[in-house]
Amino acid sequence: MDIDPRLYVEIHPYDGPHSPHPHPIDEGHFDPDYVYKVLGMYNPSETSECYFVLSNTQRQIWFIPQRHLLAYRLIDSDEFFLPKPDATAKNDISRRFTSKSASSP
């Protein structure tokens, strides 16, 4: 399976039953205020879990289970990680989009 080289993901830990290891924040030291470039993917035959290869902000390489990740967006960048836009700006954009959508005929 080919992964788009522009794919960035955000950390969204799955803490439900049978949470996969390693935990990206507690064990992998990933910062949820950043998005991470997908460097690769590994799917071992002995499990149905898929692992994404990411570099944390300390530039350590980790295999993080897909259940801890959400697709963020496709970004043209060679950076291993990028800061997320601040939450306030994100909410403003969402409100503007919703307002325009609601007023459309």
Torsion over CA: 43, 44, 45, 46 (sign): negative
What residue segments make up the domains of the chain, in order of their start?
7-103
State pTM to two decimals.
0.77
**Distance (Å, rounded) from C-alpha 55 to C-alpha 8?**
11
Query: Which pLDDT tens digit goes with each residue over 20-74?
Result: 888 899 999 999 999 999 999 999 888 888 999 999 999 999 999 999 999 999 9
**H or E, element range at 62:** strand 61-65
